[in-house]
Amino acid sequence: MSITSFNPPVRTLMGPGPSDVHPRITSAMARPTIGHLDPAFVGMMDEVKQMLQYAFQTKNQLTIPVSAPGSAGMETTFVNLLERGDKAIVCQNGVFGGRMKENVERCGATPIMVEDEWGKPVDPQKVEDALKANPDAKLLAFVHAETSTGARSDADILCKLAHDHDTLTLVDTVTSLAGCELKVDEWGIDAIYSGTQKCLSCTPGISPVSFSERAVDVITKRNSKVQSWFLDTNLVMGYWGSNAKRAYHHTAPVNALYALHEALVILQEEGLENAWARHTNNHQALRAGLEAMGLAFVVDEAHRLPQLNSVTIPDGIDEAAVRSRLLNEFNLEIGAGLGTLAGRVWRIGLMGYSSRAENIFLCLSSLEAVLSDMGADVNTGVALEAAQAAMK
């Protein structure tokens, strides 16, 4: 057997993640590897922390990138805040709320579930009722941007409700960071995690997290050790802490952090509010084209994510066959539905570097070509014009 170097095909990534990686980021990853305790690298680490604070809109000192993907960021927030016997209110309106429940249980804590229909936002009234019924709940956990459905919940209102009941907030922003409005300090988010492979246009493998002073106080006053040695922020901060000699904790993914640094520089250059506006404007163009074609959205407009679009599948169409043809004939990736939406929707991402006019036109033209060839009941010859007219 003779295995040669792997050369992946060039794809356009418009699924639920990863998104297209900006060329400046892939270039950054090719820079020389240096030691993870090298003074030059330590200086770059400080810049990464500073730029993550900007991206999250926070002054939290405990704002760091976890050396693993978003799922590890999720686990970091839960294992540091929860202890055996604690109670946590967990909102589920899609796949990732279910993963939060799993984390609560693995911490030995009790999840109090607040459930909403997939494709709908978390219902603040249900959350308030749960908070009133469980005054001893330690935290409220919810997904800001539910990747499995494309629904956005009102993090500002939910966090205010939690704080009114003296409850910590823990928020999943894997899909929302840099793609839509997110204000950690203003909204009162106590623990938050995200990922690099969505709206930051970076490669997968790093999870930015941030903890408020209130959350840090809870962590430092724990009665038991954090169940994960690797994710214990008390230990990790010896490596990522400020104004101190860095203590060895683990070998950081040096070149992956070069990539994150470059991604955050690009975000800073564009401006956070401009990035939010770009995602919204491109969503409106994609939406105009899809609706002109005759396709509909699952999520109500008021709660719809601009960066992740769940679109209904025309009657009688094999959705997997469509995705396969898009990939093989047009090198275009879109995503399938998950859970209760499996087989009912496609998930079309417009995240980060993927959120560009040329990608919108490619998606609309190739989708129209495949659907019309398969005999779907769609309008042809109108999608591109509608999208172009909607562009600002």
Percent above pLDDT 70 for the chain? 99
Q: 0.85 cut: is pTM over it?
A: yes
Cβ-based neighbour number of residue 248 at 10 Å: 9
Rounded Cα distance between 13 and 27, Å, is 19
Tell me, what's the pLDDT at 238?
A: 83
- Give the CA radius of gyration of the chain: 21
Q: What is residue 167's predicted lDDT score, i.e. its pLDDT?
A: 98
Domains recognised in the chain with CATH numbers: 23-269 (3.40.640.10), 272-390 (3.90.1150.10)
- CB count in 10 Å sphere of residue 379: 14
Q: Are 294 and 379 in contact (CB under 8 A)?
A: yes
Q: How far apart are CA 53 and CA 49, in angstroms?
A: 6
57 vs 44: CA distance, rounded Å = 20
The CB density around residue 74, as the number of other CB atoms within 10 Å, is 26
Helix (H, G, I), strand (E, B) or coil at 65: strand
List Cβ neighbours of 292 (8 Å cut-off, separation of 6 or more): 379, 382, 383, 385, 386, 387
Dihedral, CA of residue 8, residue 10, residue 13 and residue 17, to nearest 10: 20
User: How does the average pLDDT of the chain come out, rounded?
Assistant: 96
Confidence of residue 242 (pLDDT cuts 50, 70, 90): low
Give every CB contact of residue 114 below 8 A, 6+ residues apart in sequence.
89, 90, 91, 92, 122, 123, 126, 127, 130
pLDDT digits (tens, 9 = 90+) for 31-75: 999 999 999 999 999 999 999 999 999 999 999 999 999 999 999
Percent of the chain with pLDDT over 90: 96
Structure tokens at 2: 């003779």
Lookup result for tokens 């956990």? 141
Q: How confident is the model at residue 237 (pLDDT cuts 50, 70, 90)?
A: confident
Q: Is 188 left (phi over 0), alpha (psi -120 to 50) or beta?
A: left
pLDDT at 131 over 70: yes
The SS3 assignment for 141 reads strand
Tokens of 263: 């991604």
Chain mean position to CA 52: 14
Does pLDDT of 241 surpass 80? Answer: no
What pLDDT shows up at residue 327?
Answer: 98
Indicate if the pLDDT at residue 243 is higher than 60. no
| Pair type for strands 139-143 and 87-92 | parallel
Residues 6+ apart with CB under 8 A from 247: 238, 239
Q: What is the pLDDT of residues 283-338, one digit of tens each?
A: 999 999 999 999 999 999 999 999 999 999 999 999 999 999 999 999 999 999 99
Whether the CB-CB separation of 324 and 192 falls below 8 Å is answered with no
User: What pLDDT was estimated at residue 239?
Assistant: 85
User: For residue 41, how far is the Cα from the chain centroid?
Assistant: 26
Helix (H, G, I), strand (E, B) or coil at 188: coil
The answer to whether the Cα torsion of 317, 319, 320, 323 is positive or negative is positive
pLDDT of residue 244: 54
Structure tokens at 176: 């929302």
As a whole number, mean pLDDT of residues 196-224 equals 97
Closest by CA position to 296, among listed 377, 373, 354: 377
